[in-house]
Amino acid sequence: MKTSDFNFDLPAELLAEHPSEHRDEARLMVLDRKTQTIEHKLFKDVVDYFDEEDLFIFNNTKVFPARLYGNKEKTGAKIEVFLLRELDKETRVWDVLVDPARKIRIGNKLFFTEDESLVAEVIDNTTSRGRTLRFLFDGSYDEFRTKLKELGETPLPKYIKRAVEPEDAERYQTIYAKVEGAVAAPTAGLHFSKHLMKRLEIKGINFAEVTLHVGLGTFNPIEVEDLSKHKMESEEIIIDEKNALIINKAVESHRRVCAVGTTTMRALETSVSSNKKISAFNGWTNKFIYPPHDFGVANTMITNFHTPKSTLIMMIAAFAGRDFIMHAYEEAVKEKYKFYSYGDAMLIL
């Protein structure tokens, strides 16, 4: 399989700039792998495809307001700082991306507040845009994290050209988000409303949760034609014993097991053993799933519509078959489905 096998024409107007008015009223394309058929529904119709004791697995990661703006000492130039991960809690050292990067060198200081209560010093270069910062803040760790939240904004993907709006703080977050650590939302889960969750519950459908903290690597383009040479960035996964048991029981009972999103699927495929059992897991994954791949846990999945040549379209092509997915995407463009983070959804049976 080559990167170019996953290319298609995506008109710019199909990239969703705003979420649908109600979470569960986005459009839903339903793909049946057995019959190779496609149906067009609304997301709330997802209930109709599942029965009592079937299982939905959600990624409960929570997005933090990772995008900050500071000013460079002396010149006052405005610099965007995108927080990637905390490297050391004690010394407040973080991995970040900076923009524009050419102006930011080791030793530079960035000021985030008028009163200079939050300052960062550049202590290392990691990549062309990557830097390591040490934050200087006179207060406890909790106060420091509160200050980052106050100053940070919702990290909408760069393709969304508009300014961040107040509703983004709520809508770029799943309603079941619990464990803070993601810099991008697990977007398939954005379609679930409280009302829809209640309907699934009433029908007797079970829920399990895993945590995969989505990193910016999600958006990294593939620079090579040979897929086996692409390296994924590592992301942190946590699956506890209780949820592993719920998942294993559903698999053993031959229930419909639905992975909500590519991040959930990645977490499951990282922690599944050769005998198709999920074990409790706490660690990192750089697993890249592309065709052919033998999936060990989920037999259905929900996902959004992804951009051409992305690692995400490759994963769903591994799940549903490349030709079927490319045909479905052609249909999605023709029917004007909305793509990407705030876009419409697909259910693959």
| Chain centre distance of CA 264 | 9
Neighbour count for residue 228 (Cβ, 10 Å): 8
Q: Measured between alpha carbons, how far is 57 from 260 in angstroms, rounded to an integer?
A: 6
Place of tokens 């990239």: 15
Amino acid 127: pLDDT: 80
What is the per-residue pLDDT across 278-333, written as a single tens digit (0 to 9) for each?
999 999 999 999 999 999 999 999 999 999 999 999 999 999 999 999 999 999 99
What number does CATH give the domain 67-151? Answer: 2.40.10.240
Which residues lie closer than 8 Å to 242 by C-beta, 6 or more apart? none
What is the per-residue pLDDT across 228-243, written as a single tens digit (0 to 9) for each?
999 998 999 999 999 9
User: Would you call the peptide bond into 157 cis, given omega within 30 degrees of 0 as the criterion?
Assistant: no
Amino acid 1: pLDDT: 85
Amino acid 129: pLDDT: 86
Amino acid 104: pLDDT: 92
Query: For the whole prediction, is pTM greater than 0.85?
Result: yes
Amino acid 343: pLDDT: 97
Checking if the pLDDT of 135 tops 80, the result is yes
Q: Measured between alpha carbons, how far is 333 from 8 in angstroms, rounded to an integer?
A: 10
Q: If pLDDT is split at 50, 70 and 90, which confidence band does 218 have?
A: confident
What is the per-residue pLDDT across 247-276, written as a single tens digit (0 to 9) for each?
999 999 999 999 999 999 999 999 999 888
User: Which pair of tokens denotes residue 320?
Assistant: 């549903």
Among 210, 160, 206, 208, which residue's Cα sits nearest to residue 182? Answer: 210
Give residue 33's identity as a one-letter amino acid code: R
Look at the alpha carbons of 239, 244, 247, 252 in this order and tell me if their dihedral is positive or negative: positive
Q: Is 3-63+169-348's fold the same as 67-151's?
A: no
Higher pLDDT among residues 220 and 142, named by residue:
142
Amino acid 240: pLDDT: 97
User: Which pair of tokens denotes residue 268?
Assistant: 């499951």
Amino acid 279: pLDDT: 93
Mean per-residue pLDDT, 204-230: 90
Report the residue count for the chain: 349
Amino acid 274: pLDDT: 86
User: Which pair of tokens denotes residue 341?
Assistant: 């983070």
What is the per-residue pLDDT across 56-114, written as a single tens digit (0 to 9) for each?
999 999 999 999 999 999 899 999 999 998 999 999 999 999 999 988 999 999 999 99
Phi, psi (rounded to 5 degrees) for 342: -100, 15
Amino acid 78: pLDDT: 95
Phi, psi (rounded to 5 degrees) for 160: -80, 110
Q: Measured between alpha carbons, how far is 30 from 6 in angstroms, rounded to an integer?
A: 20
What is the second-level CATH architecture of the domain 3-63+169-348?
Answer: 3-Layer(aba) Sandwich (3.40)
Q: If pLDDT is split at 50, 70 and 90, which confidence band does 126 have?
A: confident
Amino acid 216: pLDDT: 78
What is the per-residue pLDDT across 5-57, written as a single tens digit (0 to 9) for each?
999 999 999 999 999 999 999 999 999 999 999 999 999 999 999 999 999 99
- Interstrand relation of 67-72 and 78-88 (parallel, antiparallel or unpaired): antiparallel
3-state SS of 260-299 is ECHHHHHHHHHHECCCCCECCEEEEECCCCCCCCCCCCCC
pLDDT above 90 as % of the chain: 90
Q: Measured between alpha carbons, how far is 72 from 251 in angstroms, rounded to an integer?
A: 54
Q: If pLDDT is split at 50, 70 and 90, which confidence band does 158 have?
A: confident
Domain assignments of the chain as residue spans, ordered by start? 3-63+169-348, 67-151
| Helix H or strand E encompassing 249 | helix 241-252
